[in-house]
Amino acid sequence: MPIYEYQCAACGHVTEAWQKFSDEPLTTCPACGGPLTKLISNCAFHLKGGGWYVSDYKSSRPNSAIPDSGDTGAAKTSDSGDTAASPKIK
């Protein structure tokens, strides 16, 4: 349920109310009985970071298929020192 804020036009008292969307808005101040107006509040939901919509969905390619920015296209070497591009000759 959303929380709505109201401010009294007579005394300036601010009050909060948990209300359904279908509930009628409050009209009288609980402190002095004056008329209330609904305030527009900041939203508590924040989208932070760049490109959140891209990073939240799983990529169809595995991370190893994405080339590094420093990759020059040179042949990769295995742990034994052999290049992956050249076949072993026995």
Q: Which domain holds residue 28?
A: 3-39
pLDDT at residue number 10: 94
Q: Render each residue's pLDDT in the chain as its tens digit; 90 residues.
A: 788 999 999 999 999 999 998 999 999 999 999 999 999 877 777 777 666 565 556 656 665 555 555 555 555 555 555 555 556 666
Task: Let me know if residue 67 belongs to a domain.
Answer: no
pLDDT at residue number 81: 53
* Number of domains the chain is built from: 1
> Which three-class secondary structure state does DSSP give residue 65?
helix
pLDDT at residue number 45: 73
Task: Let me know if residue 54 belongs to a domain.
Answer: no
pLDDT at residue number 79: 54
CA distances from residue 84 to 76, 77, 79 in whole angstroms, order as listed? 6, 6, 10
What 8-state DSSP symbol labels residue 54? H
Task: Let me know if residue 15 belongs to a domain.
Answer: yes
Contact 34/11 with Cβ under 8 angstroms? Answer: yes
Distant-in-sequence, close-in-space partners of 11: CB < 8 Å, separation ≥ 6: 29, 31, 32, 34
Task: Let me know if residue 46 belongs to a domain.
Answer: no
Task: Let me know if residue 72 belongs to a domain.
Answer: no
